[in-house]
Amino acid sequence: MFLEFISRQYRNQFAAVVAANLIAAGYGITVGWTAPIIPLLQSPDSPLPAGPISTAEASWIGSVMGFGGVTGTLLIAPLHTYFGKKVALLSLAVPHIILWTLLWLGDNVYYIYAARVLAGITGGGMFALVPLFVADIADRRIRGTLGSLTVLHINFGLLAVYTAGNYLSYYTIPQIMICLPVAFAAFVSLLPDTPYCLLRKGRLDDAEKSLMFYRNVDPEDLASGAPKGLAFVEEFENWKVFVRAEDDKEKLSLADFATPAAIRGMSIGIFLMAMNIYTGLFAIVTYAGNILIASGTSIDPKHAMSALAIVIILGNLTSFAIIDKAGRKVFLIISNASMGTFHAILGIHAYLFEADPDIGFAWLPVVCLAGTIFSATLGVTNIPYFVLPEILPAKIRSIGCTICFVLMSSMAFVLTKTFPMVLEQFKLYGAVGVFSTVCATSIVIIIFWMPETKGKNLIVEEKDGKTVLAGKGKV
């Protein structure tokens, strides 16, 4: 049934989003690379000629991606604005190829720092661009499902590097992983640019062909007057009117960010980015090896990390299958509630283990981490990325996404830079106690403040019982 669903109406949309998200898989590899590699670099078996790295150097390796994330987010906005989303997507392959080359050839920690900054550039650009690409090409009935593919690909990358880090040498990993951005560039080059970008350039025929490709519409459907063809004509007309209205609008100004809809949308967007980072999953996947060591588990961290990566994939597949069945808020509440519970249990175990290392239940930390990861994949790690374009008014959607992702990269830097020191000073129970508190606070905010956006049309919307262009009329 599912394969039939993909093979017909939405086949080309799925294929395009999978191709675009190959870079997300590459980013997931760079995020998870630190989990098996940092403990190796800190050990006497460090592959670096200078020997083991310090805790401070480890924290820089884990955190400088945040600098790159800010840079990548800021660079990608003018690229997709002036050259289109296809060119912008292709540009993400460049820093990714360079970073694996640096890790392949580098023999000191400074090469690693540079590679991590480039990884952040790729990630920042990817997070800012791919949700907009999905919003441009996706049918609103499956936009949530397609949006979930980004995090699913990131976590396939985590699984790949968690496994590879256990069995491949330090210098072998980049030799293999460099193939991924090359494949990404090859597949994306075969895609048409989005209808929106082509219409903005005045290329009406190409825009129509692009939308026909993404809606899997044949010329015969248009000529025969079939319902599928009529629906396509209506949608394409909406796109043309929407783009003309966008072009006729006054230039973006600070006043556009002062409307009630813009203030609410930006506030919720910033909250979603903060929730994504400070509920703790980013720290867990970055420092999984160190966390498992600190947790007191008797399970080999190498095997545990591979198991955790598999749990991530299972959670994403679950989310992928059900994300468009219910509202965004429902999954965010379930995700935060279960994450907070597992964080609390892990914190209690870590506190008791600190007092008595023979307390037993050495399997519990792995179960808690697995539960936290599975819970996060049900909402916290994926919903913010495709809700952000849905929550922002049309006029500020692009720049608003950029601002939110810049802030998210900055938050990720703060978290990953401080986490190793927090782990040393306040122990694991202190760190996960903060994460659990953030989860509880997020639930309250979601219930009382965040609107539901499931099925929202990004081109037209309902106002006062009438259908109008998104972003037009009185806000």
Q: What is the pTM of this model?
A: 0.77
Between the alpha carbon of residue 446 and those of residues 259, 268, 325, 332, 377, the distances in Å are 21, 9, 18, 8, 17
> Given pLDDT bands bounded at 50, 70 and 90, which one contains residue 475?
very low
What percentage of the chain has pLDDT greater than the value 90? 35
Assess whether pLDDT exceeds 80 at residue 467. Answer: no
Residue pair 290/38 in contact by the 8 Å Cβ criterion = yes
Q: What is the pLDDT, as a whole number, of residue 18?
A: 94
Would you put residue 228 in left (φ > 0), alpha (ψ -120 to 50) or beta? alpha
The pair of three-digit structure tokens given for residue 231, joined into one six-digit string: 């629906």
Question: What CATH class has 1-191?
Answer: mainly alpha
Identify the helix (H) or strand (E) that includes residue 7: helix 2-7
Residue 467 in 3-state DSSP?
strand
Q: What is the pLDDT, as a whole number, of residue 231?
A: 83
Between the alpha carbon of residue 287 and those of residues 66, 171, 424, the distances in Å are 15, 20, 13
Residue ranges in 392-473 assigned as alpha helix (H): 397-425, 427-449
Assess whether pLDDT exceeds 90 at residue 445. Answer: yes
Residue pair 391/451 in contact by the 8 Å Cβ criterion = yes
Domains 1-191 and 255-457 share a fold: yes
Residue count (the chain): 475
The pair of three-digit structure tokens given for residue 464, joined into one six-digit string: 């006062």
Q: What is the pLDDT, as a whole number, of residue 455?
A: 62
Residue pair 362/297 in contact by the 8 Å Cβ criterion = yes
Assess whether pLDDT exceeds 70 at residue 324. Answer: no
- Where do the domains of the chain lie? 1-191, 197-245, 255-457
What percentage of the chain has pLDDT greater than the value 70? 91
Q: What is the pLDDT, as a whole number, of residue 459?
A: 58
Least confident of 204-208, 261-265, 324-328, 396-400: 324-328
Q: What is the pLDDT, as a whole number, of residue 162?
A: 82
The pair of three-digit structure tokens given for residue 297, joined into one six-digit string: 């588990």
Q: pLDDT of 202-215, one tens digit each? A: 899 999 999 989 98
Q: How many CB atoms lie within 10 A of CB 327?
A: 15
Q: What is the pLDDT, as a whole number, of residue 91?
A: 96
| Separation CA 36–CA 159 (nearest Å) | 11
Mean pLDDT for 272-292 is: 87
Q: Which residues, listed in sequence order, are joined to residue 466 by a DSSP beta bridge?
A: 463
The pair of three-digit structure tokens given for residue 235, joined into one six-digit string: 């949608």
Assess whether pLDDT exceeds 50 at residue 86. Answer: yes
Query: Look-up: residue for tokens 């050259």?
Result: 83
Q: pLDDT of 131-188, one tens digit each? A: 889 988 888 778 777 877 887 888 889 888 888 877 888 999 999 999 999 999 999 9
Q: What is the pLDDT, as a whole number, of residue 5?
A: 45
Assess whether pLDDT exceeds 50 at residue 53. Answer: yes
| Separation CA 197–CA 191 (nearest Å) | 13
Fold for the domain defined by 255-457 = Growth Hormone; Chain: A; (1.20.1250)
Q: Which residues, listed in sequence order, are joined to residue 461 by a DSSP beta bridge?
A: 468
DSSP state of 457: -
Share the mean pLDDT of the chain.
85
Mean pLDDT for 298-310 is: 78
Closest by alpha carbon to 400, among 134, 132, 119, 143? Answer: 132
Q: What is the pLDDT, as a whole number, of residue 193?
A: 94
Closest by alpha carbon to 372, among 336, 403, 348? Answer: 336
Mean pLDDT for 360-375 is: 85
Angle between helices 109-137 and 397-425 (to 10 degrees): 140
